[in-house]
Amino acid sequence: MLIDEEVKPRAISHRPFREGFHNRITAKSKKVDAATLASRFQLQEEERELTYALISLFIKSGLLVIAIASFLNLGIASHQRINRNNEIKSVLNEETEKLARLHLRFDSLFSLEGRRKLMEEQDQWIAPKSRRIIWR
């Protein structure tokens, strides 16, 4: 089926011959069938859909990159936190053992003969009426 655009011939033409011939050629080129128009519209629609698909692909890939970077940062932060927790745990264990030793020593000072044990532990016991001189 052809879509015809009618070109009305002019009864009296004041134009030269070539100009009238040109009008007839453009009139023939303007005749386009419905299948050609439909195929052009379909190609334009497919190009538009391809463009939209590419845009959505770029957006989705950007979101994927952001999610992967966030998970990597989260993993690194978690690893650092676990390392710090292990360091704090080891220091706490050392200080707990030190406290237990000092607690036992403190208890031993208040036991029977605690004063004698304290005096024996002191290497240098200064007499009450003497002065201590520190040389530099």
Q: Which two tokens stand for residue 101?
A: 């030793």
pLDDT at 81 exceeding the cut of 90: yes
Distance separating alpha carbons of residues 83 and 77, to the nearest angstrom: 10
pLDDT at 130 exceeding the cut of 80: no
pLDDT at 33: 84
Beta-carbon contacts of 34 under 8 Å, excluding residues fewer than 6 positions away, are: 1, 2, 3
- Return the DSSP state at 8: P
Encode pLDDT of 93-121 as tens digits: 999 999 999 998 888 878 777 777 776 77
